[in-house]
Amino acid sequence: MNSPDTAPPGHRAARRRPDLATITAWWRGLGGDGFLVLPPPKRGRYTQSDGHEDAAELLAARGSTGPASFAYWHWQSHERAFDRSGALTGELLLHWGGDHAAVAAGLGEGPTGFRVVDGGPRSAFRLDRVTHRDDAGLPDPMDPDGVRQFLDALDEPVDRRTSTPRYRALSPVEAEWLHDRLRDPLDLSAATRFAIPLERRDGLTPDETERLLRAWRVGYEGRLAEWDAWGELLHALLRHGHEEAWEIVAALGSRVSGVLREVPSERGLAVVRGFALAGDRGAVPAWLALHRSVHEPDAVRAAASLAAELAAPGVPETALRELYHALIGAVTADWSRRTGADHHTERQWAALAAIRFGTDDRLPRSLRVLAAYAARDHADLVREEALRPGRSVFVGTGTAEVLAAVDRYEAARDGLLSGTGPDLTAYEGTLGDVWHRYRTLTDADVRWLRERVSDPATGLQGLGFCLELLLSHGLATDSDVEALLPRRLKDLTKKYRTTYTEWRHPLVTLTCLALDLDHPAAGKLVSWWNGARPAWKDELRLLTHLGAPDEAKAAELWDFVVSPAHDVGQLMTWVLVRARLDGEHPLLVADRLIGTPGIREHDLCQVLIGVADPGQPLWHYAVDPRSRGWWQRAVEVAEHPGLSPAARAMGLRTARGHCLLHHPDQLCPAPTEAERAAALSWIARHAEG
């Protein structure tokens, strides 16, 4: 039932008070009893990490030292939820930290006319308007919020684990309600939201498909892909055998691969194969799926066949990596369908599959190498699972068979992995997960890193990753500078945000290297950093002072550090500069800063942990509680005999908040029970620390 303060359906514009004002007034009245709400966000609080930083600062300002529970929303959620007039047009996600039960109690049911839905201990709370449904569970078509909520519920998959999410079936009245929205006269913009949930369940009729096609061609002539429901309509066209489907495929190009995958045919297979061999890595999973549907059901034999074609000259290496991921996904999905496995069990099975594929002679060496790399951190997890008392998750596979597979893999691993590395085009967080492996470098690692630096195909992210490792370990040389200048300078001067990574912008690192080597290009690079354009570089310029440091550079850095300006690595840079100038460990430099006016404790803690190993600083802008590297270094700081009690306490506090203790499933890969038990034991021994 509608709240008394909620306007009748269809009259959102007539509400007397903006939704944002109502929600903000309610929000400001929350808090107390160990529960803190952060003020509504400005643009500076853009992510969840920003929210946690703001909470830490607010708690520190209030002198709070014990555990605290808090809630907030950030600017991305704000922009998605409110329009310019302050009307709520979608769910507002309320993020939180601390004790879930305390946050739930503190938020309560929400302001009048709205409701707060608890997403559970691993999700955000969701604030939305209270709306009305009839006895059949249907909204009034004239109530925009009720319709939105109804469609959002239909769009929630019941199974996300497959390549195409699976949705619950529609009831007859729900289906009829949706079909009614597609009656003549057809308004394409209005029809979009109703066509999508219908076709996700193979529900569009031939007549609806035809009318939508005509409206689409007229309304989006020359820009077909801009219509939100193009994928669902193409699916309907293929499903109904409509000849114009192939004209649409030709017009839209490789982006149609996922749709063709869902309606298998020889013609679709040929089209997707062409996309994949032309270098579109996104088409590779669809190619494997279609090849299996049309020719070879066995995933391993199908992948081996495709790998042979991907070995052709001109096909990028990323396509083969995509094929490996598609193979793992396919065999895991096959096994899950047979066994009804849950997500945790699927992950364990995928790890076992990677271990097996590392020594599977049916696959070419290129795929076996990728499998061996993927399995690198999973062998102990799989062995532990196989030896677990009681029923193993590896349904249909005996313990002896699993252990034998792990033994074969470990015997072959070093030979397969020598001179290999991660996919440098992967999501930054994926690369961050392996950063801790490179605290020491083998000769093969160094060769691989130098090859990637000199490869013209390596992008800015990859250059940042590789050059940072070479420089921080003291292994970068003139040849690395020559490999990048001058032919890569145009690329290197492009903006590349490294907010979430452990490495700096590659031009920062290259400038530091050139300065340290007194390379002839150093002056040109410094001049570029001192120039007026482009403006994005200004916040990074001071990070180059780590190259060939002197007292003047240290002084300029210090002036910035104690100013209110936003820190993106300047404090870390000053600590490392001061350590180089004074010939001491940067941990000791950072320790002496504790309590210094103008330096935020939160930033100093991040720097303290980050410089625990001066041979590989962690440049992340905030402590990453899901990273093994941060855990390891927090422990080192907490146990360092040369540090002050306050510095060691920072290390201990960081370790206590790590996901290894509280949310081990958020580490990638998940820790073994032995690893977690060791961490818990360490915390117990330092309980009084």
282-295 confidence digits (pLDDT tens): 999 999 999 999 99
Q: Is the dihedral of CA 73, 76, 82, 84 positive or negative?
A: positive
- Asked if residue 50 has pLDDT above 90, the reply is no
Going by pLDDT thresholds of 50, 70 and 90, the confidence category of residue 16 is: low
**Tokens 């049309």, residue?**
294
The CA–CA distances, whole Å, from 324 to 57, 154, 327, 341 equal 44, 33, 5, 22
The DSSP letter of residue 598 is: T
From CA 463, how far away is CA 470, in angstroms rounded?
10
Q: Which residue has the higher pLDDT, 7 or 174?
A: 174
Relative to beta strand 69-72, strand 92-97 is: antiparallel
* 175, 181, 186, 189 alpha-carbon torsion, rounded to 10°: -100
Q: What is the mean pLDDT of residues 107-132?
A: 94
Q: What is the mean pLDDT of residues 535-547?
A: 94
54-55-58 Cα angle (round to 5): 85
- Asked if residue 1 has pLDDT above 80, the reply is no
**Tokens 């949930």, residue?**
197
Going by pLDDT thresholds of 50, 70 and 90, the confidence category of residue 391 is: low
Q: What is the mean pLDDT of residues 535-556?
A: 96
List phi, psi (to 5°) of 174. -65, -45
- For 159-227, the three-class secondary structure string (H helix, E strand, C coil) is ECCCCCCECCCCCHHHHHHHHHCCCCCCCHHHHHHHHHHHHCCCCCCHHHHHHHHHHHHHHCCCCHHHC
Residue 500's pLDDT is 62
The CA–CA distances, whole Å, from 71 to 41, 58, 117, 130, 526 equal 12, 12, 14, 21, 44
Least confident of 11-25, 96-110, 459-473: 11-25
Q: Which residue has the higher pLDDT, 544 or 11?
A: 544
Going by pLDDT thresholds of 50, 70 and 90, the confidence category of residue 165 is: confident
Is pTM beyond 0.85? Reply is: no
Q: What is the mean pLDDT of residues 649-654?
A: 94
In angstroms, the first-to-last Cα distance of the chain is 54
Least confident of 31-35, 314-318, 497-501, 611-615: 497-501
Q: What is the mean pLDDT of residues 70-95?
A: 95
Q: What is the mean pLDDT of residues 87-99?
A: 94
DSSP for 225-264, please give it.
GGSTTHHHHHHHHHHTT-THHHHHHHHHGGGGHHHHHHS-
DSSP for 419-471, please give it.
T----TTS-HHHHHHHGGGGGS--HHHHHHHHHHHH-TT--HHHHHHHHHHHH
For the beta carbon of residue 65, count every other beta carbon within 10 angstroms: 9
Residue 127's pLDDT is 97
List phi, psi (to 5°) of 21. -65, -40
Q: Which residues contact 296 (CB under 8 A, 6 or more apart)?
A: 302, 305
Residue 390's pLDDT is 75
- Asked if residue 556 has pLDDT above 70, the reply is yes
Beta-bridge partner residues of 166:
159
Burial 550-586 (b: 16+ CB within 10 A, else e): eeebbeebbebbeeeeebbbbbbbbbbbbbbeeeebb
Going by pLDDT thresholds of 50, 70 and 90, the confidence category of residue 486 is: confident
**Tokens 């008070």, residue?**
17
Q: Which residue has the higher pLDDT, 87 or 317?
A: 87
From CA 328, how far away is CA 336, in angstroms rounded?
12
Residue 11's pLDDT is 45
Residue 688, SS3 per DSSP = coil
Long-range contacts from 137-144, C-beta under 8 angstroms, 24+ separation? 137/171, 137/173, 137/174, 138/173, 138/174, 138/177, 139/9, 140/9, 140/10, 141/180, 141/181, 142/9, 142/10, 143/9, 143/10, 144/10, 144/12
661-676 confidence digits (pLDDT tens): 988 888 888 899 999 9
Residue 498's pLDDT is 61
* 614, 615, 620, 623 alpha-carbon torsion, rounded to 10°: -60
Rounded to the nearest 10 degrees, the angle between the axes of helix 206-219 and helix 188-199 is 140
- Asked if residue 497 has pLDDT above 80, the reply is no
Q: What is the mean pLDDT of residues 619-630?
A: 85
Q: What is the mean pLDDT of residues 310-339?
A: 91
Residue 2's pLDDT is 40
Least confident of 206-210, 403-407, 431-435: 431-435
- Asked if residue 3 has pLDDT above 50, the reply is no
Q: Which residues contact 387 (CB under 8 A, 6 or more apart)?
A: 399, 403
| Residue 682 near residue 628, CB atoms below 8 Å | no
From CA 547, how far away is CA 50, in angstroms rounded?
30
- Asked if residue 344 has pLDDT above 50, the reply is yes
Long-range contacts from 190-196, C-beta under 8 angstroms, 24+ separation? 191/215, 192/227, 192/228, 192/229, 193/147, 193/151, 194/151, 195/229, 195/232, 195/233, 196/155, 196/228, 196/229, 196/232
Q: 662: part of which helix (H) or strand (E)?
A: helix 659-662
Q: What is the mean pLDDT of residues 42-70?
A: 84
- Asked if residue 281 has pLDDT above 50, the reply is yes
* Mean predicted lDDT score pLDDT of the chain: 91
Smallest Cα–Cα separation from 461: which of 487, 406, 422? 422
Residue 6's pLDDT is 41
Residue type, 257: S
From CA 507, how far away is CA 536, in angstroms rounded?
13
Smallest Cα–Cα separation from 627: which of 445, 441, 406, 429? 429
455-479 confidence digits (pLDDT tens): 998 999 999 999 999 999 999 999 9
Smallest Cα–Cα separation from 205: which of 227, 231, 176, 225? 176
Residue 447's pLDDT is 95
Residue 286's pLDDT is 97
Residue 501's pLDDT is 78
Residue 501, SS3 per DSSP = coil
From CA 236, how far away is CA 226, in angstroms rounded?
18
Beta-bridge partner residues of 35:
32, 69
Going by pLDDT thresholds of 50, 70 and 90, the confidence category of residue 621 is: confident
The DSSP letter of residue 8 is: P
- Asked if residue 517 has pLDDT above 90, the reply is yes
Least confident of 27-36, 146-155, 368-377, 384-393: 384-393
